[in-house]
Structure 1
Amino acid sequence: MILQARAVDFSYDDGTRALDQASLVVNRREIMAILGANGAGKSTLLSTLNGTFKPAAGEVLLNGNPVSYSRKGLVELRSQVGLVLQDPDDQLFAATVFEDVSFGPLNLGLSVSEARTRVQEALAVMGIEALSHRPTHLLSFGQRKRVAIAGVLAMSPAVLLLDEPTAGLDPKSVDELCETLRSLATQGVAVVIATHDMDIAYNWADQVAVFARGKIIMEGRAEHVFGESNFQQDTDLRLPLIYQLSSELRNSGLISQDGDLPRSVPELVQQLRARQG
């Protein structure tokens, strides 16, 4: 465990209660998907985890220690817990890609040479080295998303929080981004994505947490959460398409009755071929 929300409450100025005793545990080397309908509180939870919002009750813990909301405490938290917003235009502000990505490292007090190294590494991870000197306002939406993520990665966070990271991306860009996030998790980064995409969550996430009415109502490994008999009734969410298809094929005896259900098209095809062979 690296990051934890423990019985966190948060309300907006208009009285809307966005978080109601919300609790969540984030582990290293895992991708966690936070699912929920619009207004469930997913974005608010991410903003609370990185200190943008201070909970009215409960606490956020980093490495087992309660977060301090002093200036020093918040700098420490945000140097380790990076948040990527849904709309990259809410995050990008510098004239060029290099300048934008370098802002975070320089703000941490790193030297120019150290910051340059961090920027180059982050651009390489996101596959956008060629955009280094491009004006940010001339980039495509998908390119701006990658730059926004690179800006957070340049701070070498231990936890990467992403709000709807695949929204607005074409299928190829979605696959590339998910591969990048899996690679980051393999290297030790804890990755948390808030998403409406059930298929992305089922295919890529190690853990799934379902958010409703400001609290976590289901949590566990993806195949177990989606396998809950009352999942759709309690969450108002649809089941992933691959999960639905695999379930029907298993019930019909067309794929193996043993082990977990396939979580991707290649896995499903492999099981179908094995059954036929």
Structure 2
Amino acid sequence: MILEAHRVHFAYEDGTVALDEVSLAIRGQEKLAILGANGAGKSTLLSLLNGSLRPSAGDVLLDGKPVRYGRRDLTELRSRVGLVLQDPDDQLFAATVFEDVSFGPLNLGLSPSDTRDRVTHALDALGIDALSHRPTHLLSFGQRKRVAIAGVLAMSPSVLLLDEPTAGLDPKGVEELTETLHVLAANGVAVVVATHDMDMAHAWADRVAVFATGKIVMDGTPDQVFGTENFCERSGLRKPIIHQVAQGLRDLGLMPAGKDLPRGVNDLLRQVRVAITP
């Protein structure tokens, strides 16, 4: 386990309990989707895992050791665990894309040469190397999202936390970002996404954890979680569209039983074609 929350509790100043003894472990190269209705505790958990908030009880563990909250310790934590906020304008502040993405590595004390290499790699990974010298205020919303992710990626984190990364993106932007997150995980980064996007979570994640009233109420593979009989009642969420359609086709005898339900349109069509072909 790279990163772990162990029985963490957090309440805001007005007494609102956001997390109630939550435990969650994140493995290397894992693609984890955290789901839950508004106020369920998703964003609070990400902030605790990144050290932006401190639990009132329980521990955050990095490589099995409790996180400390001194300045040097937090710098080390945030170099390993990067957090991308929902609104990219909360993270972008430099005049150009290159300057913005350079900030983190320079703040770590890297040389200009090493920083340039980190920035080049991050921009290339996000497919925005052509935007290197563009002013950040002239970018589209989707481009600004990618620059915000590149700024965190330039820190070479072991874990990348993203809060509602697909919010505000058009379908093509969602598809491109999802593919980028696939590639990052394949290259060794554990990627954790807090989202309301059931369809993205179903198609993308290896594992899904569902929050309700500050607790994790379900945790497992997408098929296990979305196949839970009372999923909607327990979570306050809907099931992914593909999952609903596939389950309906299975109930009609047009999909084979005993297999995981398809997680994408192409897989759905393939299974139906196999089932109806004599």
Match of 2:206 in 1: 206
Identity of aligned residues (%): 67
1:136 and 2:175 are equivalent in the alignment: no
Residue correspondence of structure 1 range 183-222 to structure 2 within 5 A: 183-222=183-222
- Please, which runs of 5 or more residues in structure 1 have no aligned partner? none
User: 1: distance between equivalents of 2:61 and 2:256?
Assistant: 42
Post-superposition offset of 1:273 = 1.2
- Give SS of 1:266's match: helix
User: 1: distance between equivalents of 2:132 and 2:112?
Assistant: 16
1:89 and 2:51 are equivalent in the alignment: no
1:62 and 2:97 are equivalent in the alignment: no
Match of 2:155 in 1: 155
One-letter amino acid of the structure 1 residue matched with residue 114 of structure 2: E
Deviation digits for residues 47-102 of structure 1 (CA, Å, limit 9, x no counterpart): 00000000000000011111011111111110000000000000000000000000
Deviation digits for residues 151-193 of structure 1 (CA, Å, limit 9, x no counterpart): 0000000000000000000111101100010111111110000
One-letter amino acid of the structure 1 residue matched with residue 170 of structure 2: D
Post-superposition offset of 1:210 = 0.3
User: 2: distance between equivalents of 1:33 and 1:234?
Assistant: 17
Moved over 3 A (4+): none
User: 2: distance between equivalents of 1:159 and 1:212?
Assistant: 24
Post-superposition offset of 1:258 = 2.9
User: 1: distance between equivalents of 2:257 and 2:41?
Assistant: 37
User: 1: distance between equivalents of 2:85 and 2:58?
Assistant: 24
Match of 2:226 in 1: 226
User: 2: distance between equivalents of 1:23 and 1:250?
Assistant: 35
Post-superposition offset of 1:276 = 2.3
Match of 2:17 in 1: 17
- Please, which runs of 5 or more residues in structure 2 have no aligned partner? none
Match of 2:253 in 1: 253
Post-superposition offset of 1:217 = 0.9
Match of 1:105 in 2: 105
Post-superposition offset of 1:256 = 1.3
Post-superposition offset of 1:20 = 0.8
Match of 1:267 in 2: 267
User: 2: distance between equivalents of 1:76 and 1:38?
Assistant: 31
User: 1: distance between equivalents of 2:18 and 2:260?
Assistant: 35
User: 2: distance between equivalents of 1:187 and 1:252?
Assistant: 40
- Give SS of 2:4's match: strand
- Give SS of 1:59's match: strand
TM-score (norm 2): 0.98
- Give SS of 1:179's match: helix
User: 2: distance between equivalents of 1:184 and 1:28?
Assistant: 11
- Give SS of 2:95's match: coil
User: 2: distance between equivalents of 1:214 and 1:255?
Assistant: 37
- Give SS of 1:192's match: strand
One-letter amino acid of the structure 1 residue matched with residue 220 of structure 2: G
Match of 1:125 in 2: 125
Q: What value does the CA root-mean-square deviation take over the aligned residues? A: 0.7
One-letter amino acid of the structure 2 residue matched with residue 67 of structure 1: V
- Give SS of 2:105's match: helix
User: 2: distance between equivalents of 1:275 and 1:211?
Assistant: 36
- Give SS of 2:134's match: coil
User: 1: distance between equivalents of 2:76 and 2:240?
Assistant: 37
Post-superposition offset of 1:13 = 1.4
Q: How many residues of Structure 1 are paired with residues of Structure 2 in the alignment?
A: 277
User: 1: distance between equivalents of 2:211 and 2:258?
Assistant: 30
TM-score (norm 1): 0.99
Post-superposition offset of 1:257 = 1.3
Post-superposition offset of 1:255 = 1.4
Match of 1:167 in 2: 167
User: 2: distance between equivalents of 1:129 and 1:189?
Assistant: 20
- Give SS of 1:101's match: helix
